[in-house]
Every structure is written in C-alpha cells, then in structure tokens.
Structure 1
Amino acid sequence: MSETTHDGGVAVDAAPSPDEGLTAARLAARHGLTVSGARPSLTDYVRQLWGRRHFILAFSQAKLTAQYSQAKLGQLWQVATPLLNAAVYYFIFGVILRASRGMTPETYIPFLVTGVFVFTFTQSSVMAGVRAISGNLGLVRALHFPRASLPVSFALQQLQQLLFSMIVLFVVAIGFGSYPGLSWLLIVPVLALQFLFNTGLALIVARMGAKTPDLAQLMPFLLRTWMYASGVMFSISGMLAGRPEWFIRLMQVNPAAVYMDLMRFALIDGYGASHLPPHVWAVALFWAVVVFAGGFVYFWKAEERYGRG
C-alpha cells in the first residue's frame, strides 16, 4: 500500500514482517479464531457429523417424501419400479434365456425379486451419492456443516425406501412357499452391512462427482455392467458351472453378489448354503468396513474444497 508525502513524493509501506504475521497467528489462536473453511481433524469431523444426525435424518425423510410427489401413485412407485424391473428381467432371463437353470419357479421368482430389490438399494445409493455435492451447491455454499451429511443422508434415504419395499418382498417370498423362520432374523445384519458399504460408496462417488459432474452421466453404464456381473438374474455358481473354481469364487465375492446372496439365503427356503462362497459373512464384513472407512476418510480429505471453484 502507498501514500503521498508532504513534498509530493510517494512512500511505499514496508511489507509485514514475519514477526507481525507470527503475532497475528498467536492472537488468532488465543481467541479461538481459525482459517475460514479449513478442514477439521478427523475426530472433530466425526463429532460434527454426529451433531448433525437430526438434520441428516430429517433431510433424508424430506427427500424421500418429495421423490415421487409429482406422480399420481406417489410413494407406490418405490415398490412398483423394482417390481416392474423384476417382471421384465423374468421375461427376458427366466423365460427366453432360461437363466433359471437348476431352480424351480417357486425358487427363481423370489430369487430374482430379491436380487433386484437388493441391487437397486446399492444402485440408487451410488446414483444419489454422485450428485450429493454437485446437485446441492446452493446448500453447500450457503451453510456451514460437515459435507458428508449429504451423501450419508442420501444413503439413509435409500435404506428407508428399501425398508418400505421389503413388505412386498416378504409377500413374494411367502407367496412362493418361503415362510418366516429364524433365518429371517439374518436380514437385519445383512441390511446393516450393506448400508455401511453403500454409504462408503456414496461418499467416494460424492467426492468424485463434486470434481467431475459428468461422472453422473457415466455412472448408469458402470452400474449396469456391475449388475450383469453380480448374478441379479442368475445364480453365479449355476451359470458358471464348469469354469475354473477360482473364477467362480472371484465372481461370488463381488460385494453386490455377497449381499444379494446373503439376503436370498435368509429369505428363500430353497436357496441353501451351497450357493454361498466360503467365509461369506467375513467377506460381507470386510467390504462394509473397508469401503465405509476408506470412503469416509477419502471424502473428508477434500472437505475444504467442496462448493468452491
């Protein structure tokens, strides 16, 4: 900065000395001032996120209510959409391509419906997560809150939608001879593990989508490929019979296939443990913990960059 002297000359202020900058930093620290938008520590971030738990729940419920507010059937589309998908897949894969090989219709139909509902849970969580930041820039720029609240809230929204749809899934299972038993209690840990996995994925794609919004256009193709490789419409062990054992096991430990198979094992009487890969619960726990923890840290590391630029 400069100013004019009494004799008409120009005097240039000296740049602040390092000592002055150090003094300012000490004063800021003494009075609790921090850099605007700075990323908090991981522990503080978790604490802030927990403090926003009521907002996360309320936001997810509001988004769920508004999702089909313009449709005449309203919330019924939460159930009708996966059921219609299952009907199409049954006609194509069950009737035309005979992908039900080795399974009776009483087993294959609940097998297919379960796969569609469970995979849709993951698919919808990813699609909502990839737009969590880029699609809510107004909210991100206007208010100060931990940005992870958004992808977590969207994953919670999809969980609530699945829980609503589970009523229909139970009706389908009972209608084809799979009655409630002790195995149905396994639904709770399966959903808990899948929710953790889905939330981790939502956090990962939320950061990627915040930097590259075009990822939202590519994601449906990636998810469709994942669906066809996960055994939604067919049994992996039955379809790949005769292939090398290591290849079958590799396909079975795909996380989407793991959670679908565990849900089928819990719900369907004709779907026994022989269809599951070895150590399936350990694999399910591994995917849930690793993807959730890794996704959370990955998202947190870019916290100060969301909504800028």
Structure 2
Amino acid sequence: MSETTHDGGVAVSAPTSPDEGLTAAQLAAKYGLAVSGARPSLPDYVRQLWGRRHFILAFSSAKLTAQYSQAKLGQLWQVATPLLNAAVYFAIFGLILDAGRGMDKDVYIPFLVTGVFVFTFTQSSVMSGVRAISGNLGLVRALHFPRASLPVSFALQQLQQLLYSMIVLFAVAIAFGSYPDASWVLIVPVLVLQFCFNTGLALIFARAGAKTPDLAQLMPFVMRTWMYASGVMFSIPVFLADKPQWIANVLQWNPAAIYMDLMRFALIEEYGSQNLPDHVWAVAGGWAVLFAIGGFVYFWKAEERYGRG
C-alpha cells in the first residue's frame, strides 16, 4: 500500500495487522497463551499433583531423614520423643492426678501411650503444615509445581514417623497383655482415615500460614488445648460422668478423640466397644472425607497467590 508525499515522493505504509484492534485477552485466546502462574482447573490440578507423586515421596523421606541428623541418637528420637512425653504424662496424670481411674494399670498405660502417639501424628501434621509454604518460600518461588505437594509431603512424613513408632506401640501393648488378634487388622483403616484427615488439616493451615506466618506461633497453644479436650490422658466418659451427656458426646466426636479411641479399640484387648461413641466408623469416615476434600479445594483456590508478595 502506497501514497504520494508532499514533495512528490512515494511513501510505503505498513500493511494492516490482522490482530489490530484485539484486546490483550482476545490475543491470548487466539494464540493459546495463559497467564503465568495462573491457577489450573481442579481436575488439571489433581493430575499435576499425581504427576509429582515421586517428588512428594522423595521429599517426605528426605525430610524425615534430615529431621534428627544433627542428634547423636539420630532416628531413635522419632520413637523416644512421644515415649518420653507418655512417661511424663503418666507420672503427672496417672500417678499424681489419678487420671486413669476406672482402669487397671495394665490397661491405662497402653491407653495413654496409644493416645500420645496417635495425637502426636495429628499435632505434627498440623504444625508442619502451617509452615509448609511460609517455611519453603525459596522452593516455591524458584520452581513451578503444584504447591499442595508440600503440605501433602509433610503429612506423609508424619505418617512415616508414626509407622516407626508403631513398633514401640506394639511392644507396649504386648507387654501389658494385649496380644495380636483379628482386631489389630483395624489399625490399617484407622491410619488411612486419620492420614486423610491430617492431610486436609495440613492443607488448610498451609494456606492460612502462608498468609499469616504468625499463626505458627499461636498453633502450639491451640494444639495443647485440643489435646486436653480429646482424652489423651483420661477416659472422657469416666471423667465427665457427672456432667451433661452432650458435653461428653461433643468431646468424643471430635476427630482427634475418634481416631485415638479406634486405635485403642484395635490394640488394647480390654478396651471394648462400650468405650466408643455411637456410629464411630461413620463419624471417622465423615471427618476424613470432609477435611481431605474440603482442605484440598480450599488450598487450591489460593494456588496462584503462594510465594507472592
């Protein structure tokens, strides 16, 4: 295309672009471009997370190995820490405060140790989850991967740690007269349900901790309160026998108490079904599904905001 200039010359103008007049959004759609770091759809996000499963496993195993690498006893602390906590609680609550009233010592000691180990699993998952994003900003900002990989890997790390601790838990149960039987098979579904619940909780607090890093300083107080309200050191029905029944029901139906009671029922021979709340398996499954799905969706909704600002 040409035109004559004022001095008689000929000027050639550029041809009109086929994209002239298109907005940025229209141009992006035309050429298949996407916003860098944009949140993928939920099905795509699930596929991306599954594609990183080997990274999640390797990352959780590496974190577990490095956790006590500076200590002389090394990985023995994975078992020694909750066992020492159980010993302290037994001295204070079992001997001084008689929190095991209504139970023989042969029942109360495995009851207490089981409660400490199982609650520690949830507590550690929450505490590591709240720092999953805020404590790994260098990794989040340097590499592109589904951010849910981090809290999921931390929850998996705590599961691996509990599995090591289960060896001691089995030894304690056997030492006090609870020998392996068919009920021990129930340990597997209990751990699966609790892991799903813990993972959802870790995802929720990972998003909250990414926005409010100070939450990590508050959580120890929250977890300590939750522990005392969940019957780790005492039997909720026995201790609340003189209180309105609804109080005992609320405390027994809280997820930490549910998973502890199910593990005690599976492991301890004399801890019968009369100690469990009604519909216990349905409640345990409901908590697991609600938090696993709800926590995952809640975390995914803020995917594009992690590591920014």
1:8-30 C-alpha deviation (Å, 9 max, x unpaired)? xxxxxxxxxx96343x5444334
Could you give the per-residue CA deviations for residues 227-284 of structure 1, whole angstroms, max 9, x where no partner exists?
0000000000111112212221111001000000000000001111011000000000
CA distance in 2, matches of 1:280, 1:19: 65
Q: Distance in 2 between matches of 1:148 and 1:180?
A: 37
TM-score when normalising by structure 1: 0.92
Residues 1:222 and 2:222 are matched in the alignment: yes
Residue range with higher mean Cα deviation, 237-246 or 212-221: 237-246
AA aligned to 2:218 is: L
Amino acid at match of 1:162: L
One-letter amino acid of the structure 2 residue matched with residue 87 of structure 1: A
Cα distance between partner residues in 2 of 1:19 and 1:157: 54
Q: 2: distance between equivalents of 1:221 and 1:244?
A: 27
1:33 positional shift: 1.8
- Matches of 1:259 and 1:187, distance apart in 2: 10
Match in the other structure for 2:207: 207
Q: In the aligned structure 2, how far is the partner of 1:260 from the partner of 1:34?
A: 47
Give CA deviations for 1:71-112 in whole Å, capped at 9, x if unaligned: 000000000000000000000000000000000000000000
Q: Which runs of 5+ in 1 are unaligned?
A: 1-17
Residue in structure 2 matched with residue 132 of structure 1 by the alignment: 132
Tell me the equivalent position of 1:93.
93
State the secondary structure of the residue aligned to 1:20.
coil
1:190 aligns with 2:190: yes
Correspondence for 1:20:
21
Match of 1:81 in 2: 81
- In structure 2, give the amino acid aligned to 1:91: A
Shift of 1:181: 0.4
- The residue aligned with 2:259 is 259
Partner in structure 2 of residue 11 of structure 1: none
Shift of 1:32: 3.1
Q: TM-score, normalised by structure 2?
A: 0.92
* Cα distance in 2, alignment partners of residues 203 and 32 from structure 1: 31
Which residue number corresponds to residue 249 of structure 1?
249
Task: Tell me the equivalent position of 1:14.
Answer: none
Name the residue aligned to 2:280.
Answer: 280
Question: Match for residue 44 of structure 2?
Answer: 44
What does residue range 26-37 of structure 1 map to in structure 2 within 5 Å? 26-37=26-37
Q: Percent identity?
A: 80
Aligned residue for 2:21, secondary structure, equals helix
Matches within 5 A, 1:296-307: 296-307=296-307
What's the secondary structure of 1:270's corresponding residue? coil
Q: Which residue of 1 aligns with 2:170?
A: 170
What code does the residue aligned with 1:180 have? P
- Once the two structures are superposed, what CA deviation does each residue of 1:174-195 show, in whole Å capped at 9, x if it has no partner? 0000000000000000000000
* Residues 207-235 of structure 1: per-residue CA shift (max 9 Å, x gap): 00000000000000000000000000000
For 1:146 and 1:101, the matched residues in 2 are separated by 49
Give the equivalent residue in structure 1 for 2:148. 148
Q: Distance in 2 between matches of 1:255 and 1:33?
A: 45
Q: Within 2, Cα distance between the matches of 1:45 and 1:200? A: 16
Aligned-partner SS, 1:35: coil
**In the alignment, is residue 104 of structure 1 matched against residue 78 of structure 2?**
no
Q: How many residues align?
A: 291
Equivalents in 2 of 1:254, 1:97: separation in Å? 24
Q: Could you tell me which amino acid in structure 1 is paired with residue 206 of structure 2?
A: A
The aligned amino acid for 2:293 is: A
The separation in 1 between residues aligned to 2:245 and 2:279, in whole angstroms, is: 15
Greater Cα offset, 244-253 or 124-133: 244-253
CA distance in 1, matches of 2:81, 2:286: 31
Q: Which amino acid in the other structure matches residue 286 of structure 1?
A: G
Letter in 2 for 1:43: P
| Higher-Rg member (1/2) | 2
In structure 2, the gaps of 5 or more residues are: 1-18
1:89-136 deviation digits (Å, cap 9, x = unpaired): 000000000000000000000000000000000000000000000000
